[in-house]
Amino acid sequence: MDIPLDVVTYGEAMALFVASTSGPLSEVEHFTRRVSGADLNVATGLARLGYRVGYITRVGRDAFGDHIRATLEREAIDQRCVTVDDRFATGFQLKGVGLAGEDPKTEYFRRGSAASRLSLDDYVAEYVLGSRHLHLTGIAPAISLSSRELAFHLAIKMRGAGKTVSFDPNLRPTLWPSRAEMVSQLNELAKYADWVFPGLCEGEILTGRTDVREIAGFYLERGARGVAVKLGEDGAYFRTEQEEGVVPGVRVERIVDTVGAGDGFAVGVVSGLLENMPMADAVARGNRIGALAIQVTGDSEGLPTRADLEALEQFADGSGRSPRTHSVETGLGGDIARPRFARGYRAMFSTAAAQRVEYPPILYFGAAR
DSSP state of 172: -
Q: What is the pLDDT of residue 208?
A: 97
Within 8 A by CB and 6+ apart from 55, the residues are 8, 9, 10, 13, 39, 40, 43, 72, 77, 78, 79, 81, 82
User: How far is it, in rounded angstroms, from Cα 238 to Cα 339?
Assistant: 9
User: How far is it, in rounded angstroms, from Cα 111 to Cα 82?
Assistant: 19
Q: What is the pLDDT of residues 219-262, one digit of tens each?
A: 999 999 999 999 988 899 999 999 999 999 887 777 766 666 88
- Residues linked to residue 83 through DSSP beta bridges, in sequence order: 58
Architecture of domain 7-355: 3-Layer(aba) Sandwich (3.40)
Q: Where are the domains of the chain?
A: 7-355
Q: What is the pLDDT of residue 297?
A: 66
Phi, psi values for residue 58, rounded to 5°: -130, 135
**C-alpha separations of 300 from 5, 21, 249 in Å:** 21, 20, 19
Q: What is the pLDDT of residue 261?
A: 81
Residues serving a catalytic function are: 263
Q: Is the dihedral of CA 146, 199, 241, 131 positive or negative?
A: positive
- What is the reported pTM? 0.83
Of 74, 18, 10, 76, residue with least CA distance to 37: 10
User: How far is it, in rounded angstroms, from Cα 294 to Cα 303?
Assistant: 9
* Structural contact between residues 285 and 305, judged by C-beta atoms closer than 8 angstroms: no
Of 10, 273, 301, 5, residue with least CA distance to 137: 10
Low-confidence ranges of the chain (pLDDT < 50): 1, 319-369
